[in-house]
Amino acid sequence: MTALLEVEALEISFGGVKALHGVGLTLATGEILALIGPNGAGKTTVFNCISGLYRPQSGQIRVAGRDILGLKPHRVAASGIARTFQNIELFRHLSTVDNLLLGRHLYLKTGLFSGMALLGPWTPAAKEEMRHREKVEEIIDFLDLQAVRSQRVGNLPYGTQKVVELGRALAMEPKVLLLDEPAAGMNLEEKHDLRIWIEDISKLFGIAILLIEHDMQFVGELADRVIALNYGECIAQGTPDEVRSHPDVLRAYLGTPSAEVKQ
Amino acid sequence: MDMKRSYYRDLRLFDTWPLGLWLVVCAALLALVPFFAGNYLMYVLGYIAINAMVALGLNVLVGYTGQISLGHAGFFAIGAYATVLLAKAGVPIPLALVAAAFIAAAFGFLLGLPALRLEGPYLAVITLGFGLTVENIFAKAEFFGGATGPSVPPFSLSLWPGFSREQNLYWLIMLCAGGTILAIRNLMRTRVGRAFVAIRDSDVAAACAGVDLTWYKTLAFAVSAAFTGVAGGLFAFHLGQVDPTTFNLMLSILFLAMVVIGGVGSILGPLLGAVTISLLNLKLKGLKLADFEQIPLAGKEIAGFISRHFMETGMANIQFIVYGGILVLIMVFEPLGLYGLWIRAKRYWRTWPL
């Protein structure tokens, strides 16, 4: 397996706070890698650096061998990276279909004037729209979103919104998918569906997945490898079981045992 | 149940055929106006249509892209001056209007640049400054005709044999307004329009989905300015003169009021807003003391109160008091604008008699 996404020695600080200190990871095609760590460990910061929202002070980020560090977010997206957000960032006033269609933005070509000239099904703009709607409907079928396809996403339940966001990322047909706490706030049934979808995305579509998640059971069932972060540094990596029982990880989550407990 | 069998169903201009029929009937009626109506009705409808073009254009920026502009009178002025000066130089009027659209769009791009870094009140102040600057450059520079403005060449375009000047102008205005509605409606259901709305709802997510924020934010300003510019050009012919003092801050605010009163982020909203504000503008302009006496019940008392407490010269400003009062009432009772009223009425009839 070749590394699709390579992140090396990321350093970023905000004011006096070192948010990331030498964080590195590699992600191979078809692999699912989980990032875990207590709140404020720097997990989302890693995502923001990869997707171009933050500019790390030093380090390297490559996708399929191409350097993407310092690119603007839309250029990063064009290089094959899609993401979801911890606090849902959907286009609230658009329908599910339109949210997913926006995910096709990179593939659509209709410009200002050809868009204004959409006068009937024979115009190029309409033909292109219909072609991409077909792709979007496939994703809607895959994620079971038919019931809400024409509804405004702002009115949908939280769990469904998370799925729509996943759908939008999928519509981008990425090489690498970054999922920021995809299961947060979902009930058991939703989590179960989500786990199967993520497995399918990885196995059927061959998309490499990097995921942040607090639910260790979810991570254990899904991830091939886990990296644990604390205070902006990698403290452990390996299989889910190895990381779960790593003493540094236990200390990060539970603190050091007090003298009484030791006795 | 009504099943959709093609992806085009989702894309269609009108959701249902009765709506399409209604719009065609309305368009036909408006097109036939010159054949049976006098000049005054055409003047009023033309005035409304010009304002509607501006409101629709401004709505692309304010309603759909989530930016703000207090300087659209500037684009309106740029369009008016560009059209008039080009027409005076011998450029055919339709070509001059197209050129005005591009010139206004170019200034839109420029004004869009600060929007990349600023938002909300800060952007409002920048656009305010733009409007004031443009107004004063036009009013003070000799090249633009100074305080009296340039003379407007006669409107010489002929669209129908035997039409008078007013009839031809009316048709051109309606054609441009109809084109604006269609163009913006189409734009909003394709890639560029979706990118605009995406920026409004979540610019971070839009960027991460591949939308170039720099390009689309400035493009929204340019598109908005272009429609406003064309409207300005038509306005110059409609009024028959270009007076630099008309393009003031008050006008920019009225344009914004049309969008907000009508309801942001729709096509019908700005149209309703433009109709409302234009009619208020026309009706309230000639407001006299005698008009207040006609108010039922308390007319005499109101007129008496006004004549006792207002200065003679202040009478001209009473229109703004009434005006302001109406705006406040609309916003208090229908925060979503007139479009919200429409949506509510539609829902009421759909569920009637519940």
Q: Which domain holds residue B210?
A: 38-247
Q: Is the pLDDT of residue A154 over 70?
A: yes
Are A126 and B212 within 8 A, CB to CB? Answer: no
Split into its structural domains, chain B has a count of 1
Q: Which pairing describes strands A17-28 and A3-14: parallel, antiparallel, or unpaired?
A: antiparallel
Q: Which helix (H) or strand (E) holds A234?
A: strand A233-238
- How confident is the model at residue A165, as a pLDDT? 96
Give A 130-149 residues with CB within 8 A of chain B. Answer: 130, 133-134, 137
pLDDT band at residue B114 using 50, 70 and 90 as cut-offs: confident
- How confident is the model at residue B325, as a pLDDT? 86
The Cα-based distances of B235 to A21, A40, A239, B138, B239 in angstroms read: 62, 58, 71, 16, 6
User: Taken in order B133, B136, B140, B142, is the CA torsion positive or negative?
Assistant: positive
Q: Token digits for B141?
A: 């520079």
Interface test with B, best of A51, A84, A112, A155 (most B CBs within 10 A): A112
pLDDT tens readout for residues A211-221: 999 989 999 99
- Where is the domain boundary, A142, A171, A200? A171
User: What count of other Cβ atoms lies within 10 Å of the Cβ of residue A75?
Assistant: 15
pLDDT tens readout for residues B176-188: 999 999 999 999 9
Whether residues A149 and A199 share a domain: the answer is no
Whether residues A128 and A183 share a domain: the answer is no
> Does residue A185 belong to any structural domain of this protein?
yes
CB-side neighbour CA atoms (13 Å) of B274? 25
| DSSP type of residue B144 | G
Q: Is the pLDDT of residue B84 over 90?
A: yes
Cα A136 to Cα A158: distance, rounded to the nearest angstrom: 21
CA nearest to B78, candidates B109, B52, B48: B109
pLDDT tens readout for residues B3-53: 566 777 777 777 677 788 888 999 999 999 989 888 999 999 999 999 999
Give yes or no for A122 touching B (CB within 8 A): no
What secondary structure does DSSP assign to B88-118, as a single string? HTT--HHHHHHHHHHHHHHHHHHHHHHHTT-
- Where is the domain boundary, A137, A171, A205? A171
CB-side neighbour CA atoms (13 Å) of B154? 4
> Does residue B112 belong to any structural domain of this protein?
yes
Q: Which domain holds residue A149?
A: 95-171
- How confident is the model at residue A263, as a pLDDT? 53
What secondary structure does DSSP assign to B292-335, as a single string? HHTSTTTHHHHHHHHHHHS-TGGGGGHHHHHHHHHHHHHHHH-T
- Where is the domain boundary, A120, A147, A171? A171
> Does residue B55 belong to any structural domain of this protein?
yes
Q: What's the mean pLDDT in B288-303?
A: 78
The Cα-based distances of A77 to A81, B205, B312 in angstroms read: 5, 11, 65
More confident residue, A162 or B116: A162
Whether residues A255 and A184 share a domain: the answer is yes
CA nearest to A129, candidates B192, B19, B217: B192
- Chain A residues closer than 8 Å to B206 by CB: 91, 102
Residues 6+ apart with CB under 8 A from B300: B293
The answer to whether B82 touches B96, Cβ cutoff 8 Å, is yes
- How confident is the model at residue B296, as a pLDDT? 80
Cα A154 to Cα B134: distance, rounded to the nearest angstrom: 40
pLDDT tens readout for residues B308-349: 877 766 666 677 787 788 888 888 888 788 888 888 888 888
Whether residues A218 and A144 share a domain: the answer is no
CB-side neighbour CA atoms (13 Å) of A140? 21
pLDDT band at residue A259 using 50, 70 and 90 as cut-offs: low
Q: Is the pLDDT of residue A261 over 60?
A: no
- Chain A residues closer than 8 Å to B186 by CB: 115-119, 125
Q: Is the pLDDT of residue B119 over 70?
A: yes
The answer to whether B134 touches B267, Cβ cutoff 8 Å, is no
Give A 196-255 residues with CB within 8 A of chain B. Answer: none
> Does residue B344 belong to any structural domain of this protein?
no
A40-44, A108-112, B51-55, B335-339: least confident range: B335-339
Q: Token digits for A126?
A: 């309409």
- 3-state DSSP: chain A helix, strand, coil percent, rounded to 5? 40, 25, 35
Question: What is the predicted ipTM?
Answer: 0.91
Cα B225 to Cα B101: distance, rounded to the nearest angstrom: 7
Q: Token digits for B319?
A: 């229109």
- How confident is the model at residue A136, as a pLDDT? 95
A142-146, B64-68, B305-309: least confident range: B305-309
The answer to whether B233 touches B83, Cβ cutoff 8 Å, is yes
Could you give the 3-state DSSP secondary structure of residue A49? helix
B211 vs A105, A110, A133: nearest CB = A105
B45-49, B59-63, B114-118, B272-276: least confident range: B114-118
> Does residue B139 belong to any structural domain of this protein?
yes
> Does residue B305 belong to any structural domain of this protein?
no
Whether residues A38 and A161 share a domain: the answer is no
Whether residues A215 and A238 share a domain: the answer is yes
Whether residues A125 and A188 share a domain: the answer is no
Q: Is the pLDDT of residue A62 over 60?
A: yes
Are B208 and A117 within 8 A, CB to CB? Answer: no
Whether residues A234 and A259 share a domain: the answer is yes
Whether residues A43 and A112 share a domain: the answer is no
pLDDT band at residue A203 using 50, 70 and 90 as cut-offs: very high
Query: φ and ψ at B293, to 5 degrees?
Result: -65, -20
Split into its structural domains, chain A has a count of 2
The answer to whether B69 touches B61, Cβ cutoff 8 Å, is yes
Q: Is the pLDDT of residue A144 over 50?
A: yes
Residue B167, min C-alpha distance to chain A (Å):
27
Whether residues A19 and A55 share a domain: the answer is yes
> Does residue A161 belong to any structural domain of this protein?
yes
A70-74, A194-198, A235-239, A255-259: least confident range: A255-259
Q: CATH number, domain at A187?
A: 3.40.50.300
Are B210 and A109 within 8 A, CB to CB? Answer: no
Whether residues A148 and A185 share a domain: the answer is no
Cα A219 to Cα B164: distance, rounded to the nearest angstrom: 77
Q: What's the mean pLDDT in B83-90?
A: 95
| DSSP type of residue A87 | S
Interface test with B, best of A105, A106, A168, A176 (most B CBs within 10 A): A105
- How confident is the model at residue B1, as a pLDDT? 41
> Does residue A87 belong to any structural domain of this protein?
no
Whether residues A206 and A236 share a domain: the answer is yes
Q: Calculate the average pLDDT of chain B.
A: 89
The answer to whether B16 touches B201, Cβ cutoff 8 Å, is no
Q: Is the N-terminal amide bond of B353 cis, ω within 30° of 0? A: yes
